[in-house]
Amino acid sequence: MQLPPTENTHVGKRTPIKVFVMTGPESSGIVAFKRIVSGKDTYEGYSWEIFEKVSKMPEIAKKYDFHITFSDPGFTNYEEVIDKIQQGHYDLGIAGFLQTAGREDKVDFTAINKIDSNAIFHVDDESEYGLFVTTIQSIGNIIFVIFLLGILLGVLLYFGNPGRMRKMGVTNKKEFFMKSIIAGIASMFGEFGYIAEEATLSYRGIFIATLIMVIAFVTLLYVQAKLTAALIEKKISSDANEYRLTKGVVLGHEGYAVARKIQAEGVNIKFIKDHTNDELFDLYMKNTDKYDGVALSYCDGYPYLTIYPQLRASIGFGNEPSGFPVRETRRELLGDLNTAILKLRDDGTLKTLCEKYFGKMSHASNFPTCSLS
């Protein structure tokens, strides 16, 4: 957690810089969000921490005096901020501003600090049958291998701990062999009772039982990881063609570049004014029969995949560079900020911050957020 950069008392020696920081709830992925610690307001967030670290660099701190204005929580009109920077109300904006051609005509942008994807977040209408097919496609071969491995472990149990035969009260070796095979297969599917309860208490018996349970446990963890990864990749589609508009309307923020970008792809966007991300998703989730989804940058919207497990993100609408907008008359500030951001990239700080806030997206191999660092 970071406190707002403190102002230097020697104001006259430094250039005053008016900074506008966009804030929102913690559920928003890009903007700064506030927490109260020991009675004091503290802020966190990817863009905020970059600015906080840059502002504390000696070469920046001794040269500039940052006067910070925080937005109302959930404010989403990025275009309005761009216009105010162009008009001189502010010198610098802190949030995940996408660098579009229209914005480049109004303001300058710092060095890129991340790459974001244009996305539509929509209810996952995947059927139970579809999930079953995904599961079989992902781990069907593994299940076959597990079955064979279970048989091998059963054979190991049969020859490695023959004392189990007496403990089980079995006199027929064929019956004992089949029970050992069943115990081996069952252990590979998480049932360890046959192994643990009927193991002999000799060192050999304990070793064989422990070995089989360890092998089965590690294999189960691997299968669960493979299945989870497959279902997540299914949830995050990289192919825009997999997304089909059925109601004809996608919700988007007014003044939000991603919504306009997706509109340019031929999607009918209904622009909503003065809504936070939370409110926009709430509107969509209550009206899934009327709307096809919500248009947001993936970094801005990915936390909602956890809040609403039935959501899915289609990200096949292009990737966009993101930086901080700077007033065109502040060229010296722009150069200093660029140098500072590049230092953060070179020393690994940018990568660390990116993984801190967006590391949960690492399962999406086609998502480029942290590729700059």
Is 298 or 370 the better-scoring residue by pLDDT? 298
> 229 with 155, same domain?
yes
Identify whether residues 77 and 144 lie together within a single domain. Answer: no
- What confidence score (pLDDT) does residue 364 get? 47
1 found inside a domain: no
Same domain, 58 and 37: yes
- Looking at 180, 212, 235, the residue that finishes a domain is 235
The span from the first CA to the last CA of the chain, in angstroms, equals: 22
pLDDT of residue 238: 42
Q: Cα dist. 94→76, 131, 342, 368 in Å?
A: 12, 41, 17, 21
Answer yes or no: do 181 and 104 share one domain.
no
Strands 97-98, 319-323: pairing kind: antiparallel
Number of domains composing the chain: 3
> Model's pTM, two decimal places?
0.61
What amino acid is encoded at 247 in this protein? Answer: K
Enclosing domain of residue 172: 129-235
Q: Residue 147 domain-assigned?
A: yes
Identify whether residues 29 and 107 lie together within a single domain.
yes
In this structure, the answer to whether residues 228 and 245 fall within a common structural domain is: no
pLDDT-derived band at 363, boundaries 50, 70, 90 = very low
Question: Is the pLDDT confidence value at 43 over 70?
Answer: yes
Which range among 15-19, 33-37, 121-125, 277-281 has the greatest average pLDDT? 15-19
CATH number of the domain that 22 lies in?
3.40.190.10
Tell me which residue of 165, 167, 194, 190 sits closest to 182, measured CA to CA.
194
Judge whether 27 lies within some domain. Answer: yes
Q: Examine the domain organization and report whether 336 and 281 are in the same domain.
A: no
Q: Which of 172, 167, 293 is nearest to 242 (CA)?
A: 293
Residue 123 lies in a domain: no
| Within-domain flag for 120 | no
Is there a domain that residue 119 lies in? no
* Residue where a domain stops, chosen among 235, 262, 296: 235
Q: Which residue has the tokens 């994807």?
A: 117
What is the token pair recorded at 267? 């999607």
**Statement: residue 20 has pLDDT above 70:** yes
Q: Are both 135 and 221 inside the same structural domain?
A: yes
pLDDT digits (tens, 9 = 90+) for 55-114: 999 999 999 999 999 998 888 888 999 999 999 999 999 998 988 888 999 999 999 998
The chain-wide mean pLDDT, for the chain, equals: 81
Domain co-membership, 307 together with 227: no
Residue 138's alpha-carbon distances to 4, 77, 143, 194, 234, in angstroms, are 47, 42, 10, 29, 11
For residues 140 and 218, state if they share a domain.
yes
Domain end marker among 294, 314, 334:
314
Q: Looking at the chain, which runs of residues are DSSP E strands?
A: 15-21, 33-37, 40-44, 64-70, 92-94, 97-98, 108-109, 114-123, 236-237, 250-253, 269-272, 293-297, 311-314, 319-323, 325-326
The structure tokens 């914005």 sit at: 103
In contact, 22 and 32? CB cutoff 8 Å: yes
Q: Do 90 and 185 share a domain, yes or no?
A: no
Say whether both 228 and 246 belong to one domain: no
CA 354 to chain centre: 10
* Distance between CA atoms of residues 97 and 268, nearest Å: 23
171-198 tens-digit pLDDT: 788 888 888 888 888 888 777 777 777 7
Distance separating alpha carbons of residues 88 and 70, to the nearest angstrom: 17
